[in-house]
Structure 1
Amino acid sequence: MSRYVEIVRGILAYQFGREAADAMLDGEVKVRVRRGRPREVFVDGKRLCTVRASDGLVSLAPEGARRLHAATEPPEHRVVCADEWVEAVRRGRDLFCEYALRGWEELRPGDECLVVSEDDELLAVGKMRLSGWEVEYFEHGVAVRVRRGL
């Protein structure tokens, strides 16, 4: 296995846990390298994630979000969206605090997260703006900056 795949596996294990990292990298893994560092990660030909140059962590692509969702049990890495805002989040709109019902308590601002419906249907992938436990207490502002609706 390439050393870049092992680097990416370590980053994913740090962000999402070892079991989730192994499940996310299940398949034929290719890492696109720029200037000696991993940048884009593909599994079975689909982009899984991008390694950010700013902090060395990953931003999930839709395929990465689907694999993380399948590899983890609720409430891990999830923020639950109210039913009346589900379609807006699917279209890529940010999740506001008034529509965020609850979040995983271990999420921190800046963490990658999955936005799900009350039935645990994957709606979007984004970045936390608040802590997971703060989501249900605030009434105004953005809870999750949605990168891509699914």
Structure 2
Amino acid sequence: MKIIEPDEDQIRIIRSILSYQFDERVAEAFIKLPLKISMRLGKIRYVYLNGNRIMTLRPTDFGFTLSIEAGKIILENSDYPKYRVVVRDDVEYMGDVMGIDVIDSDQSIKPGDEVVIISNKGEIIGIGKAKVPGFMMKSMGKGEVVRFRKVLRNEKKS
């Protein structure tokens, strides 16, 4: 797949999607970076930074799935607790986060939102997809509240 510089229209599309999915501050933070893209069927599919894929555009709902690096950019450019789920750091996370492990979460998270999972020490643990609203996460007990897409701690150990 050919990686290219985005033109003005493609940058506008990326900014619009990020503004809708997150907010204007996060969108501007990404747009200021030296992003590259690759296309599929004439549409943006992947977004790259320094040769690494940081976002994938889902064709089903036109939202971005995130890499760990994209999660770090979001954390640096948003105020606590936006887009975050804070969890206990004494648990080895694999495929999902249970409600019993949640310490805090962005109350405005909706099911299906991309979220950054961080420890109570502020360290990034992974990226995931919310399964329940943020305001319900702590009360879900042993129910799944976030499904991991990427887990940083497991990558370090391999």
Matched, 1:69 2:71: no
For the aligned residue pairs, the C-alpha RMSD in angstroms reads 1.3
Residues 94 and 145 in structure 1, CA contact (< 8 A), matched pair in contact too: yes
Identity within the alignment, % = 28
SS at match of 1:116: strand
Shift of 1:46: 2.3
The answer to whether the 8 Å contact 1:27/1:44 transfers is no
TM-score by length of 2: 0.87
- Residue among 117, 137, 146 paired with 1:135: 137
Deviation at 1:27, TM superposition (A): 2.1
Residue 124 of structure 1 corresponds to 126
Structure 1 runs of 4+ aligned residues shifted over 4 Å read none
Aligned pairs (5 A) from 1:52-67:
52-67=58-73
Choose from 2, 10, 17 the match for 1:4.
Answer: 10
Match of 2:29 in 1: 23
> 1:146 — aligned with what?
148
Gapped regions of structure 1 (runs ≥ 5): none
SS of 1:98's equivalent in the other structure is helix
Rounded to whole Å, the distance in 2 between the matches of 1:5 and 1:127 is: 25
AA partner of residue 147 (structure 2): R
Give the drift of 1:24. 2.3
TM-score, normalization: structure 1? 0.91
Count of residue correspondences: 146
- Which amino acid counterpart does residue 4 of structure 1 have in structure 2? Q
